[in-house]
Amino acid sequence: MQVVATGHRAPVRPDHPFPLGGPQLPATAVSDGRGYVLVTSSNFTVYDAGPGWDRPVPGQMIAAGPAGWLVLSCDRSDRRCRRQVIDGANGSRRRLPGPVVAEPNYFSWPPTGVIAPDGSTAAVAEIGRHGLTAHLIDLRTGTPG
């Protein structure tokens, strides 16, 4: 079996063991948008995994797409959070401008948000006092798209 990603083929093992401390009970494996998978552990850490490798995704996964991921990165107290865009291919991070998110309500597994193929916009769902709201976020400016 082979997986095609970014124009090259890589051999795939039938099983992918994770090291101790890695994901132990993935609820669901979903596409990372680049041909590999995202899984979550019992403590809600999200991992990007492919043939023979895995790495934690820093922050709460909000949306995934071929150009990157949108995550919520919080301080140690989880009271002040900011949105970041992560390049899934190289892991580089860019914090989006905009207000601090005081009470994040985005996390769900699998993530409900999606990112446009060109990486310009994310569509995310948020559950609030008035029910479910879909937001479009411009991933260049951080403003509503």
How high is the pLDDT of residue 115? 93
How high is the pLDDT of residue 1? 32
Query: Confidence band (pLDDT; 50, 70, 90) for 21?
Result: low
> Maximum Cα–Cα distance for the chain, whole Å?
48
48 pLDDT higher than 60 = yes
Q: What is the pLDDT of residues 94-137, one digit of tens each?
A: 999 877 765 555 557 788 789 999 999 999 877 777 777 888 99
Give the chain's end-to-end CA distance (angstroms, integer): 40
Tokens of 8: 């090259």
Q: What is the pLDDT of residues 58-90, one digit of tens each?
A: 888 889 998 889 998 887 765 678 889 999 888
Secondary structure of residue 54 in the 3-state scheme: strand
Tokens of 112: 């409900």
Name the nearest CA neighbour of 82 among 63, 95, 64, 68: 95
How high is the pLDDT of residue 120? 93
Tokens of 133: 């709201």
